[in-house]
Homo-oligomer: A and B are copies of this chain.
Amino acid sequence: MSQANIEDNEVDIVIAALHSDLTSFMIEWKPVFSRFHLIIVKDPDLSEELQIPEGFNLDVYTKSDIDGVVGSSSSIVFSGYSCRYFGYLISQKKYIISVDDDCIPARDSSGSLVDIIAQHADNLTTPATPFFFNTLYDPYRKGADFVRGYPFSLRSGVTCALSCGLWLNLADYDAPTQALKPEQRNTRYVDAVLTVPARAMMPVSGINIAFNRELVGPALIPALKLAGEGKLRWETVEDIWSGMCVKVICDHLGLGVKSGLPYVWRNERGNAIDSLKKEWEGMKLMEEVVPFFQSVRLPQSAIKAEDCVVEMAKTVKEQLGQSDPMFARAAEAMVEWVKLWKAVRSRELST
């Protein structure tokens, strides 16, 4: 693991502040975060002042900043976990790393603190191999390689655009699973990174992710907002939806998605049983969402993530829009998001 391929100033760490007191969170992450620029986006629903310790290079954005950029006419709601997307929107860095504010650094099997920046950087700067599965996991890792039978023509791989990290202690389960197994904790540290094969769909969790903003930034969108969505991860599916958008777009553009290391340590928060009523809605939607993303194909003319999102929004509206108004709203948000993304970029150019 090294950051040889990424300069410190190519990274923005984006934190969604759903709680006002970030003191212990920031202190825990200080050894990992202190060299990098942080974007902290305060949940617009949060009224208390944020408490952030000294010693970081950071910018804080609040409701008034969001309103200033987005305006009031937007169909996009930046509240709750979705506020982090505002950070993705205004970042000007090549890479974004984002972690939930209820997570602290994990330790690996040898007891060392996991540097999520270094590992995500490694994942994003070494190639991905979506077109053939390597049974020994990441072939670019020290001590590993491509196994016998792996075609040489595929060994150079493709650019990795998205790196999905995992969670020790409280895993990212939905409310019913959490309610059924309240004592379950993830204690297994699986020392591996793998490329999720092309055309295989997966549930991307927003808890601990990193991505190449220049390549796929426009595809991470707070589009699918549940009616009963609250301030707990298991009440949201916005990351799952945008994760499937990104995966389809990566498959289309010949980019890779990795999953595995790095882990974060995730602390308990909230009562799963209280969330059950709300969560069923999101889970029912998945039964339609997954087959949709498995079958959607983008036109050859779509050669940038922005184009892909616009094309996908059309298909969402056509194929899913009738079955639930939430999907129609998601399609609108996707179109709106691309406009917003382009507007922010053109403002950057003119300043």
Q: Are B233 and A203 in contact (CB under 8 A)?
A: no
Q: What does the 1/0 interface line of A232-244 toward B look like (CB < 8 Å)?
A: 0110010010010
A186, B154: Cβ atoms closer than 8 Å? no
- Let me know if B202 and A287 touch, CB within 8 A: no
Copy tally for this chain in the complex stands at 2
B287 touches A153 (CB 8 A): yes
Instruction: Tell me whether A171 and B145 are in contact (CB under 8 A).
Output: yes
Q: How many residues on the A side are at the interface (Cβ–Cβ under 8 A)?
A: 59
Contact check, B151 vs A181: say whether CB atoms are below 8 A apart: no
Say yes or no: B191 contacts A188, CB within 8 Å.
yes
Tell me, rounded to whole Å, the shortest Cβ–Cβ distance linking A102 to chain B.
14
A186: chain B residues within 8 A (beta carbon): 136, 143-144
**Stretch from A92-100, A192-200, A296-304 contacting the other chain:** A192-200
- B287 near A152: Cβ-Cβ < 8 Å: yes
Residue from the list B148, B188, B286 in contact with A173, Cβ < 8 A: B148
Chain B residues near A191: list those with CB within 8 A. 188-191
Q: How far is the CA of A192 from the CA of B239 in the complex (A)?
A: 25
List the B residue with the shortest CB-CB distance to A236: B148
A149-B174, A186-B143, A191-B188 given as contacts; is B290 within 8 A of A201 (CB)?
Answer: no
When C-beta atoms are compared, the residue in chain B nearest to A240 turns out to be B149
Q: Which B residues are CB-close (under 8 A) to A132? A: 200-203, 290
* Contact indicator B286/A151 (Cβ below 8 Å): yes
Give the complex CA separation of A197 and B152 in angstroms. 22
- Contact A136–B200 (Cβ < 8 Å): no
**Contacting residues of chain A (7-54) with chain B, CB-CB under 8 angstroms:** none
A187 to B142, CA, bound (A): 11
The digit string for A121-132, where 1 denotes a CB below 8 A from any CB of B, is 000000000011
Q: Which B residues touch A177, using CB under 8 A?
A: 145-146, 148
Asked if A205 and B135 make an inter-chain contact with CB atoms under 8 angstroms apart, the answer reads: yes
Interface set, chain A 195-218, CB cutoff 8 A to B: 196-205
If over half of A's interface residues share one DSSP class (helix, strand or loop), that class is named, otherwise mixed; here it is loop
Judge if A150 is at the interface, Cβ distance under 8 Å.
yes
CB-based contact A171/B199 at 8 Å: no
Q: Is the CB of B152 within 8 A of A202?
A: no
Per the bound structure, the CA–CA distance linking A194 and B196 in Å amounts to 11
CA distance A190 to B108 in the complex (A): 13
A2 on the interface (CB 8 Å rule)?
A: no
- Contact pick for A149, options B131, B145, B203, CB 8 Å: B203
Check if A149 sits within 8 Å of B237, measured CB to CB.
Answer: yes
Q: A20 CB to closest chain B CB, in angstroms? A: 25
The answer to whether the Cβ of A137 comes within 8 Å of any Cβ in the partner chain is: yes
Contact indicator B135/A147 (Cβ below 8 Å): no
* Residue A133 at the chain B interface, CB threshold 8 Å: yes
Given the complex of chains A and B, what is the CA–CA distance between A116 and B24 in angstroms? 45
Bound together, the chains give a CA A166 to CA B134 distance in angstroms of 11
A–B complex contacts, Cβ < 8 Å, 17 sampled: A135-B166, A135-B205, A136-B171, A143-B184, A143-B185, A145-B177, A146-B173, A147-B174, A148-B234, A149-B203, A149-B204, A149-B286, A150-B174, A150-B286, A151-B286, A152-B283, A192-B192
